[in-house]
Amino acid sequence: MFRIIAAFCIISLASAAQAQQQDAELISRFRPGIMWFYTGLRPGVAEKMPRYDRLIFEVLYNDWTGKSVKPFQQKASSIGWNGQAIFDIPITNDNISFGIGVGYQYTRIHLQDTYLRRDVALQATILDTFSGESQVQRSVFSANQLFVPVELRFRTKGWKHVKLHVGGKAGYQFRSATKIRETQNGLKSDQKTIGFYDVNDWIFSAHVRVGIRNLGLVASYNLTPYFRSQSSTALNGFSLGISLSLF
Protein backbone atom coordinates (compact mmCIF):
# COMPACT_ATOMS: atom_id res chain seq x y z
CA MET A 1 0.00 0.00 0.00
CA PHE A 2 2.84 2.38 0.87
CA ARG A 3 4.47 1.76 -2.52
CA ILE A 4 1.20 2.45 -4.31
CA ILE A 5 0.71 5.74 -2.41
CA ALA A 6 4.31 6.78 -3.07
CA ALA A 7 3.97 6.00 -6.78
CA PHE A 8 0.72 7.99 -6.93
CA CYS A 9 2.40 11.01 -5.27
CA ILE A 10 5.33 10.91 -7.70
CA ILE A 11 2.98 10.75 -10.71
CA SER A 12 0.92 13.66 -9.31
CA LEU A 13 3.99 15.84 -8.73
CA ALA A 14 5.27 15.11 -12.24
CA SER A 15 1.88 16.04 -13.74
CA ALA A 16 1.75 19.25 -11.70
CA ALA A 17 5.25 20.25 -12.83
CA GLN A 18 4.32 19.61 -16.45
CA ALA A 19 1.13 21.66 -16.04
CA GLN A 20 3.09 24.55 -14.51
CA GLN A 21 5.48 24.47 -17.44
CA GLN A 22 2.57 24.57 -19.87
CA ASP A 23 0.98 27.45 -17.91
CA ALA A 24 4.26 29.35 -18.07
CA GLU A 25 4.29 28.91 -21.85
CA LEU A 26 0.70 30.17 -22.01
CA ILE A 27 1.63 33.21 -19.90
CA SER A 28 4.53 33.99 -22.19
CA ARG A 29 2.57 33.45 -25.39
CA PHE A 30 -0.93 34.74 -24.68
CA ARG A 31 -1.02 36.78 -21.47
CA PRO A 32 1.54 39.58 -21.44
CA GLY A 33 1.24 42.70 -19.33
CA ILE A 34 -0.99 43.68 -16.42
CA MET A 35 -4.08 42.36 -18.26
CA TRP A 36 -2.38 39.01 -18.84
CA PHE A 37 -5.59 36.99 -18.44
CA TYR A 38 -7.14 38.74 -21.44
CA THR A 39 -6.74 36.94 -24.77
CA GLY A 40 -9.66 38.54 -26.61
CA LEU A 41 -13.13 37.19 -27.25
CA ARG A 42 -11.71 33.77 -28.17
CA PRO A 43 -9.20 31.48 -26.46
CA GLY A 44 -5.55 31.87 -27.45
CA VAL A 45 -4.25 29.89 -30.40
CA ALA A 46 -0.98 27.99 -29.94
CA GLU A 47 0.43 29.09 -33.30
CA LYS A 48 -0.32 32.77 -32.70
CA MET A 49 2.75 34.88 -31.97
CA PRO A 50 2.71 37.02 -28.79
CA ARG A 51 1.68 40.69 -28.79
CA TYR A 52 2.79 43.28 -26.25
CA ASP A 53 2.43 46.98 -25.43
CA ARG A 54 -0.93 47.45 -27.11
CA LEU A 55 -2.27 50.14 -24.75
CA ILE A 56 0.29 52.61 -23.38
CA PHE A 57 -0.03 55.54 -20.96
CA GLU A 58 2.84 57.95 -20.40
CA VAL A 59 3.44 60.72 -17.85
CA LEU A 60 5.85 63.30 -19.26
CA TYR A 61 7.97 66.26 -18.25
CA ASN A 62 7.56 68.78 -21.10
CA ASP A 63 10.09 71.39 -22.16
CA TRP A 64 11.52 73.03 -25.27
CA THR A 65 14.78 74.26 -26.69
CA GLY A 66 15.97 76.67 -29.39
CA LYS A 67 18.66 79.14 -30.39
CA SER A 68 17.74 81.59 -27.63
CA VAL A 69 16.12 79.14 -25.20
CA LYS A 70 18.06 76.60 -23.17
CA PRO A 71 16.51 73.24 -22.16
CA PHE A 72 15.55 72.35 -18.59
CA GLN A 73 14.87 75.97 -17.66
CA GLN A 74 11.13 75.52 -17.07
CA LYS A 75 9.55 74.53 -13.78
CA ALA A 76 9.28 70.93 -12.58
CA SER A 77 5.47 71.15 -12.67
CA SER A 78 5.58 71.10 -16.50
CA ILE A 79 3.81 67.74 -16.57
CA GLY A 80 1.69 66.34 -19.38
CA TRP A 81 0.52 62.90 -20.45
CA ASN A 82 -0.55 60.81 -23.39
CA GLY A 83 -2.47 57.62 -24.11
CA GLN A 84 -2.10 55.49 -27.22
CA ALA A 85 -3.62 52.31 -28.62
CA ILE A 86 -1.17 50.45 -30.85
CA PHE A 87 -1.48 47.38 -33.06
CA ASP A 88 1.53 45.16 -32.33
CA ILE A 89 2.35 43.30 -35.57
CA PRO A 90 5.00 40.56 -35.09
CA ILE A 91 7.71 40.42 -37.75
CA THR A 92 9.73 37.60 -36.20
CA ASN A 93 8.68 35.21 -33.48
CA ASP A 94 9.02 36.89 -30.06
CA ASN A 95 11.79 39.37 -30.93
CA ILE A 96 10.84 42.04 -33.48
CA SER A 97 7.51 43.66 -34.26
CA PHE A 98 6.01 46.70 -35.96
CA GLY A 99 3.64 49.03 -34.14
CA ILE A 100 1.11 51.54 -35.49
CA GLY A 101 -1.90 53.14 -33.82
CA VAL A 102 -3.60 56.32 -32.62
CA GLY A 103 -3.08 58.50 -29.57
CA TYR A 104 -3.84 61.72 -27.72
CA GLN A 105 -1.34 63.94 -25.89
CA TYR A 106 -1.76 66.87 -23.53
CA THR A 107 1.32 69.10 -23.27
CA ARG A 108 1.75 71.52 -20.36
CA ILE A 109 4.77 73.75 -19.74
CA HIS A 110 4.96 75.91 -16.61
CA LEU A 111 7.09 78.75 -17.94
CA GLN A 112 9.79 80.74 -16.28
CA ASP A 113 9.03 83.23 -19.09
CA THR A 114 5.88 84.32 -20.87
CA TYR A 115 4.65 84.88 -24.43
CA LEU A 116 3.90 88.20 -26.07
CA ARG A 117 1.63 87.93 -29.13
CA ARG A 118 2.46 90.70 -31.58
CA ASP A 119 -0.63 91.55 -33.65
CA VAL A 120 1.02 93.48 -36.48
CA ALA A 121 3.92 91.07 -37.15
CA LEU A 122 1.74 88.01 -36.50
CA GLN A 123 4.41 86.42 -34.33
CA ALA A 124 4.99 85.16 -30.80
CA THR A 125 7.98 86.24 -28.71
CA ILE A 126 9.14 84.97 -25.34
CA LEU A 127 9.82 87.65 -22.73
CA ASP A 128 11.64 87.48 -19.43
CA THR A 129 8.89 87.21 -16.82
CA PHE A 130 10.83 89.46 -14.46
CA SER A 131 11.52 92.23 -17.00
CA GLY A 132 9.99 95.65 -16.63
CA GLU A 133 7.74 95.03 -19.63
CA SER A 134 5.89 92.25 -17.84
CA GLN A 135 4.03 91.98 -14.53
CA VAL A 136 3.29 88.30 -14.98
CA GLN A 137 3.43 86.17 -11.84
CA ARG A 138 2.61 82.86 -13.50
CA SER A 139 2.63 81.64 -17.10
CA VAL A 140 1.55 78.26 -18.50
CA PHE A 141 1.61 77.02 -22.09
CA SER A 142 -0.63 74.09 -23.07
CA ALA A 143 -1.52 72.23 -26.25
CA ASN A 144 -3.53 69.20 -27.35
CA GLN A 145 -2.50 66.74 -30.03
CA LEU A 146 -4.00 63.80 -31.89
CA PHE A 147 -1.25 61.66 -33.35
CA VAL A 148 -0.39 58.46 -35.19
CA PRO A 149 2.60 56.59 -33.69
CA VAL A 150 4.79 54.28 -35.77
CA GLU A 151 7.38 52.07 -34.05
CA LEU A 152 9.91 49.36 -34.72
CA ARG A 153 10.00 47.20 -31.58
CA PHE A 154 12.77 44.94 -30.30
CA ARG A 155 12.50 42.68 -27.25
CA THR A 156 14.02 39.62 -25.66
CA LYS A 157 12.03 36.40 -25.39
CA GLY A 158 9.52 35.66 -22.66
CA TRP A 159 6.97 37.75 -20.82
CA LYS A 160 9.66 39.20 -18.51
CA HIS A 161 11.36 40.78 -21.49
CA VAL A 162 13.61 43.77 -22.04
CA LYS A 163 12.25 46.05 -24.77
CA LEU A 164 13.43 48.83 -27.05
CA HIS A 165 11.01 50.82 -29.19
CA VAL A 166 12.25 53.31 -31.80
CA GLY A 167 9.77 55.36 -33.78
CA GLY A 168 8.03 58.62 -34.51
CA LYS A 169 4.68 60.41 -34.41
CA ALA A 170 2.73 62.50 -36.88
CA GLY A 171 0.28 64.65 -34.97
CA TYR A 172 -2.30 67.39 -35.43
CA GLN A 173 -1.93 70.06 -32.75
CA PHE A 174 -4.97 72.08 -31.70
CA ARG A 175 -6.17 74.45 -29.01
CA SER A 176 -2.72 75.68 -28.05
CA ALA A 177 -3.05 78.32 -25.35
CA THR A 178 -1.35 80.38 -22.67
CA LYS A 179 -2.70 81.11 -19.22
CA ILE A 180 -1.10 83.93 -17.26
CA ARG A 181 -1.58 85.46 -13.84
CA GLU A 182 -0.84 89.17 -13.62
CA THR A 183 -0.62 91.57 -10.71
CA GLN A 184 -1.78 95.15 -11.23
CA ASN A 185 -2.09 97.62 -8.36
CA GLY A 186 -1.90 94.74 -5.92
CA LEU A 187 -4.77 92.83 -7.58
CA LYS A 188 -4.28 89.43 -9.23
CA SER A 189 -6.07 88.45 -12.43
CA ASP A 190 -5.99 85.32 -14.62
CA GLN A 191 -6.16 85.49 -18.40
CA LYS A 192 -6.33 82.57 -20.86
CA THR A 193 -5.65 83.14 -24.57
CA ILE A 194 -6.27 80.36 -27.09
CA GLY A 195 -4.40 80.18 -30.39
CA PHE A 196 -1.28 81.69 -31.93
CA TYR A 197 -0.92 83.52 -35.23
CA ASP A 198 1.70 81.24 -36.76
CA VAL A 199 1.43 78.01 -34.80
CA ASN A 200 2.36 74.81 -36.64
CA ASP A 201 -0.76 72.67 -36.73
CA TRP A 202 1.19 69.57 -37.76
CA ILE A 203 3.91 68.28 -35.45
CA PHE A 204 6.34 65.50 -36.38
CA SER A 205 8.49 63.93 -33.66
CA ALA A 206 10.91 61.07 -32.99
CA HIS A 207 10.97 58.99 -29.82
CA VAL A 208 12.64 56.06 -28.10
CA ARG A 209 11.27 53.86 -25.31
CA VAL A 210 13.29 51.37 -23.27
CA GLY A 211 12.13 49.23 -20.37
CA ILE A 212 11.34 45.88 -18.80
CA ARG A 213 7.95 44.24 -19.37
CA ASN A 214 5.23 46.82 -18.52
CA LEU A 215 7.41 49.72 -17.38
CA GLY A 216 9.66 51.91 -19.48
CA LEU A 217 11.42 55.25 -19.87
CA VAL A 218 10.56 57.36 -22.91
CA ALA A 219 12.15 60.37 -24.59
CA SER A 220 10.65 62.37 -27.47
CA TYR A 221 11.82 65.33 -29.58
CA ASN A 222 9.73 67.47 -31.94
CA LEU A 223 11.33 67.72 -35.37
CA THR A 224 8.85 70.49 -36.23
CA PRO A 225 9.12 73.87 -34.41
CA TYR A 226 6.06 75.24 -32.63
CA PHE A 227 5.90 78.36 -34.83
CA ARG A 228 6.28 78.94 -38.58
CA SER A 229 7.36 82.58 -38.59
CA GLN A 230 11.07 83.35 -38.77
CA SER A 231 10.39 86.31 -36.46
CA SER A 232 8.89 84.18 -33.69
CA THR A 233 11.03 82.63 -30.99
CA ALA A 234 12.36 79.35 -32.44
CA LEU A 235 11.22 76.48 -30.23
CA ASN A 236 11.31 72.69 -30.59
CA GLY A 237 9.57 70.74 -27.90
CA PHE A 238 10.83 67.62 -26.15
CA SER A 239 9.61 65.40 -23.35
CA LEU A 240 10.97 62.83 -20.90
CA GLY A 241 8.86 60.45 -18.88
CA ILE A 242 7.62 57.07 -17.72
CA SER A 243 5.45 54.69 -19.75
CA LEU A 244 3.09 51.99 -18.53
CA SER A 245 1.86 49.26 -20.89
CA LEU A 246 -1.42 47.66 -19.83
CA PHE A 247 -1.49 44.68 -22.19
pLDDT in tens, 107-144: 998 877 666 665 545 666 666 554 554 566 778 889 99
- List, in order, residues 6 or more apart from 72 with CB less than 8 Å away: 63
Proportion of the chain above pLDDT 90, given as a percent: 38
- Are 59 and 106 in contact by the 8 Å Cβ rule? The answer is no
pLDDT of residue 20: 44
pLDDT of residue 39: 65
pLDDT digits (tens, 9 = 90+) for 144-199: 999 999 999 999 987 788 999 999 999 999 998 888 777 776 777 777 778 787 88
pLDDT averaged over the chain? 79
Residue 218: pLDDT over 70 = yes
112, with CB counted inside 10 A (0-12, 13-18, 19+), is middle
3-state secondary structure of 219: strand
Over residues 16-33, the mean pLDDT reads 50
Decide which of 236 and 129 is more confident: 236
Decide which of 11 and 247 is more confident: 247
Domain membership of residue 10 (yes or no) is no
Domain membership of residue 149 (yes or no) is yes
Note down the domain range covering 205.
45-245
Domain membership of residue 5 (yes or no) is no
Residue 8: pLDDT over 80 = no
- List, in order, residues 6 or more apart from 174 with CB less than 8 Å away: 143, 144, 145, 146, 201
3-state secondary structure of 3: helix
Residue 54: pLDDT over 60 = yes
- List, in order, residues 6 or more apart from 112 with CB less than 8 Å away: 73, 74, 75, 129
Domain membership of residue 167 (yes or no) is yes
Domain membership of residue 1 (yes or no) is no
Domain membership of residue 32 (yes or no) is no
Domain membership of residue 208 (yes or no) is yes
Number of domains in the chain: 1
pLDDT of residue 179: 84
Domain membership of residue 177 (yes or no) is yes
Residue 233 DSSP one-character state: P
